[in-house]
Amino acid sequence: MDDDGFPQGWHVVAIQSALIGAMIVGALILAGAARAETSNVGRTWPIAEPDAMAEIEAAVARQPASIAPRFGPRSGWSALKGATLGIAQADRVRSVVPFYTLDQEIRLADGKLLYPKGFTFNPLTYVSLPQRLVIVHPRDLGWALRTAALTDWILLTGGGEPKDDALSLGEKHGRALFILEERVKERLGLTVAPVIVRQSGQKLELTEVHLERRGSQGLPQEKRP
């Protein structure tokens, strides 16, 4: 007996009993949690909201296979109409600096003013134009395809035949073609085509090319001295 009247070693037995009890309680908790994953606890009701994926699939099934007929033929799509340019009457090379003026101020996250409204800068000081822009009338696309490298961008002007839109011609020739937008025309100071635009230092070099038409089909050819 110890001083408290308990048998010797009762402390060890008590600790062992506490550990065993804790393990049993833990096992019961885990078993209850596992059972709760596959059992219903309390009252349940079916989900009232429709399944989101089912709604999406139903909406898709109601749509026509193609909505292109709603917009009519491509020849009438305003989005495919490029800016118009005159015809180059002589070979000429000129330079343009594409200055840009901010129409609003630019501030940092802390509110500090970085660039004020009206600040003018040359984007070519900070970025480079890796490819050339070959801008042509749709009727001169054959010349552009022979002249442009694979990395160059070919831009089509407006004013061609209704069937000669960028999408149709791109599908026909298996090459991505782009539309000359009015804002690009204004920024680059374009007036005539064909014209090849490339970066030269901090300027854009515009090479206007005069094409002579020869033969019964009027195929364009570069004028050579």
Q: Collapse the DSSP code of 18 into the 3-class scheme (helix H, G, I; strand E, B; otherwise coil) and give the result.
A: helix
Instruction: Compute CA distances 87 → 36, 43, 137, 138, 171, whole Å.
Output: 80, 80, 8, 12, 26
Contact 177, 146 (CB under 8 A): no
- What is the number of alpha carbons within 13 Å of residue 111 lying toward its C-beta? 0
Walk along the chain (225 residues) and give the pLDDT tens digit of each residue.
545 554 454 444 455 555 555 555 555 555 555 554 555 666 777 777 778 888 888 888 888 777 666 666 655 555 567 788 889 899 999 998 888 888 899 898 898 998 899 989 888 888 888 889 999 998 898 999 999 999 999 998 887 676 777 777 888 888 888 888 888 888 888 999 899 999 999 999 999 999 886 654 455 555 543
Residues 27 and 38: their CA atoms lie apart, in Å, by: 17
Question: What pTM, to 2 d.p., does this model score?
Answer: 0.59
Residues 78 and 152: their CA atoms lie apart, in Å, by: 25
- What are the helix and strand counts (H, E) for the chain? 6, 14
Domain residue spans in the chain? Answer: 1-33, 75-222
Residues 141 and 173: their CA atoms lie apart, in Å, by: 10
Residues 38 and 56: their CA atoms lie apart, in Å, by: 30
* End-to-end CA separation in angstroms for the chain: 125
Give the closest residue to 190 by CA, choosing from 84, 91, 90, 102.
84
